[in-house]
A and B are shown apart, each in its own frame.
Chain A
Amino acid sequence: GQNIDQPTEMTATEGAIVQINCTYQTSGFNGLFWYQQHAGEAPTFLSYNVLDGLEEKGRFSSFLSRSKGYSYLLLKELQMKDSASYLCAVREAGAGSYQLTFGKGTKLSVIP
């Protein structure tokens, strides 16, 4: 089984940088995903890490350390529209199993 932990809520100021952490414990690992979800909408894919290191995509970056079971999502130059829930999800390694296991999500509030 898997256990994924991320902070419940965070608040940050417009224009600032925020880091959302995610720790996981898994019997197998086949990638970590970050999704953004605005209230009442579909989760939207942000990033994917399967190897250790930093993946950068515009204002968003995601980091992974497999040995530590740790990832973070870094959001730069925060905008009001970045207020949303950010979901950390791990894909488990295993024959025929490609399901994602999600954390409860981090609700980010961006304030002026």
Chain B
Amino acid sequence: EAGVTQFPSHSVIEKGQTVTLRCDPISGHDNLYWYRRVMGKEIKFLLHFVKESKQDESGMPNNRFLAERTGGTYSTLKVQPAELEDSGVYFCASSQEHTYEQYFGPGTRLTVT
């Protein structure tokens, strides 16, 4: 069974540009989560999808971040326009039921210069 995959693995963009990150959860997992780890800090929650619906987006830092999960399969996280403080590793995780363990992807390392 394939795990959670994320694309790209690395992205370097300039301040003010737009970047879109993609996450493919484990097949059959209705729950999809986005997290972020900035340098020297802990992994922090961004939002949670159940199928195509946003269940909890309390961790989204501001309106420059837009997450979608059309069709309830893969998800995208768009940052527009990117700022320097957006640099970090963005993790996606999925779970079969919300009470089950979350399986993480390898992350996308985003560098904003």
Q: How large is the interface on A (under 10, 10 to 19, 20 to 34, 35 or more residues)?
A: 20 to 34
Determine the distance from Cα of A42 to Cα of B35 in the docked complex, in whole angstroms: 12
> CA–CA, A95 to B23, complex, Å?
25
Please indicate which of the listed interface residues B43, B44, B48 has the most CB atoms of chain A within 10 Å of its own CB: B43
Q: Which of B12-20, B53-61, B66-74, B77-85 interfaces with chain A? A: B53-61
Asked whether A98 and B103 contact (CB < 8 A) given A42-B4, A42-B91, A105-B42, the answer is no
Number of chain B interface residues as a range: 20 to 34
Residues of B within 8 A of A40 (CB): 106
Interface string of A88-102 (1 = CB under 8 A from B): 010000001111111
CB of B60 to closest CB in A, whole Å: 12
B101 at interface by CB-CB < 8 Å = yes
Residue of A nearest to B9 (CB): A40
Give chain B residues whose Cβ lies under 8 Å from the Cβ of A48.
Answer: 101
Q: How many angstroms from the CA of A98 to the CA of B3 in the assembled complex?
A: 20
Let me know if B33 and A99 touch, CB within 8 A.
yes
Q: Which interface residue of A35, A42, A97 has the most chain B CB atoms within 10 A?
A: A42
Cβ–Cβ < 8 Å partners of B107 in chain A: 42
Q: Which residues of A approach B to under 8 Å, CB–CB? A: 4, 31, 33, 35, 40-45, 48, 87, 89, 96-105
> What 11 additional pairs, Cβ within 8 angstroms, besides A87-B43, A99-B58, A105-B42?
A4-B42, A31-B99, A42-B103, A42-B106, A43-B91, A45-B103, A48-B101, A96-B55, A99-B45, A99-B59, A104-B42
